[in-house]
Structure 1
Amino acid sequence: MSLKDTLIQKLETQVESWESRLETLRAQFNEYKAKAENHQATEELKEKTAKRIADLKEDIDTARTRLEELRASGESRLSELKSKVEDFLNRRS
């Protein structure tokens, strides 16, 4: 497998993981909200969950951008993109 294919596979795997986590967060929030009796606790949870969801969406969008860069790149940019991808994934993991 080429370096380009390896990087694409890493990013695709990470995006799938984040999308799964995003769906889990949404489901957990909806379940908790349905059971919540305390309005203040619900609002605090809503704010925290909204931030986590926004952060995950941003990570997914950035990863998709990196995927497009990789797919469109030639061998001459692979070294540069490899560093970008690895730095990005290390900061988000």
Structure 2
Amino acid sequence: MQKANGFNEFYSIYTKGGRIEYFVDKQGNPTINYPHVHIIHRGNGQVEVVASLSRGKHPYRTTLNNPSGGDVNAAIRSAASYL
């Protein structure tokens, strides 16, 4: 887990369920601030990419099944266009 400023906020986190989550800004840099792109790598090969403008406001969301790195990067760019 990479904590932000030592608080219980994170740039990235690995959960017990094998899930890896991280937040990036429009430029792809780690962030805890809104807006951000939330990327969730699930243990079953799925990757969810979500544009988060504020808590509960998500204008873009997609789930990819066993994607390549290029597929994930393309989804991140699409989500970032909503920020």
Q: Select the structure with the greater relative contact order (CA < 8 A; seq sep ≥ 6).
A: 1
Q: Which has more helix, going by share of residues?
A: 1
TM range, normalised to the smaller chain?
0.3 to 0.5
Bigger strand fraction: 2
TM-score by length of 1: 0.30
Give the TM-score normalised by structure 2. 0.32
